[in-house]
Amino acid sequence: MTISMYAASVPVLRRMLVNLAGILKKAADHAEARKIDPGVLLNARLFPDMFPLLKQVQIVTDNAKGLARLAGIEIPKYEDNETSFAELQARITKTIAFLDTLKQDQVDGSEARDIILQVRGKTLELKGQDFLLNRQLPNFYFHLVTAYNILRHNGIEVGKTDYLGG
């Protein structure tokens, strides 16, 4: 039995973005209840040379909308100018709405599609399946779990169920 490229990507990333939105809501509620400046959490990092929460969420959504490459369509462009939990929520909502436009027949069959990426001054040439399984999904999950860990480290009461969803 095989799994389709669509089934391995769009619904999976959509679900995890919904979960991330829930985690961010808990963080915003936590900050409000404890009278913490939200900027403290939004700019928190796990280590000085790592990106802050804001950037982690931006990268998560960038990876999700990068699925456009599998569908052979233009990737939506975002400004990366969010400065609040509300703006991050709007970005996630916009990304979910984009994923909802991707149809199964656009993504299925993209296993051998040529994907060319420019990453840190290097050109990467991948086939669609390698792009999805060895680049896009791992990168998406890395930044998603880093966002989760930043918030957990800062005392937000989230757990595995928040991350994985109900």
| Phi, psi (rounded to 5 degrees) for 114 | -75, 125
Owner of token pair 């149809």:
103
Q: How far apart are the C-alpha atoms of 22 and 97, rounded to whole Å?
A: 16
CB 99 within 8 A of CB 140: no
1 part of a folded domain: no
pTM of the shown model:
0.96
4 part of a folded domain: no
Owner of token pair 């595995």:
160
3-class secondary-structure state, position 119:
strand
Q: pLDDT (tens digit, 9 = 90+) per residue, 139-166?
A: 999 999 999 999 999 999 999 999 999 7
Residue 109 parent element (H or E): none
Count Cα atoms within 13 angstroms, Cβ side, for 36.
18
CB 30 within 8 A of CB 36: yes
Q: What is the CATH number of the domain that holds 100?
A: 1.20.120.450
Q: pLDDT (tens digit, 9 = 90+) per residue, 11-66?
A: 999 999 999 999 999 999 999 999 999 999 999 999 999 999 999 999 999 999 99
CB 31 within 8 A of CB 41: yes
Q: pLDDT (tens digit, 9 = 90+) per residue, 52-67?
A: 999 999 999 999 999 9
Q: How far apart are the C-alpha atoms of 130 and 149, rounded to whole Å?
A: 27
Residue 125 sits in which domain range? 10-164
Q: Quick one: 67 exposed, middle or buried, by C-beta within 10 A (0-12, 13-18, 19+)? A: buried
Number of compact structural domains in the chain: 1
5 part of a folded domain: no
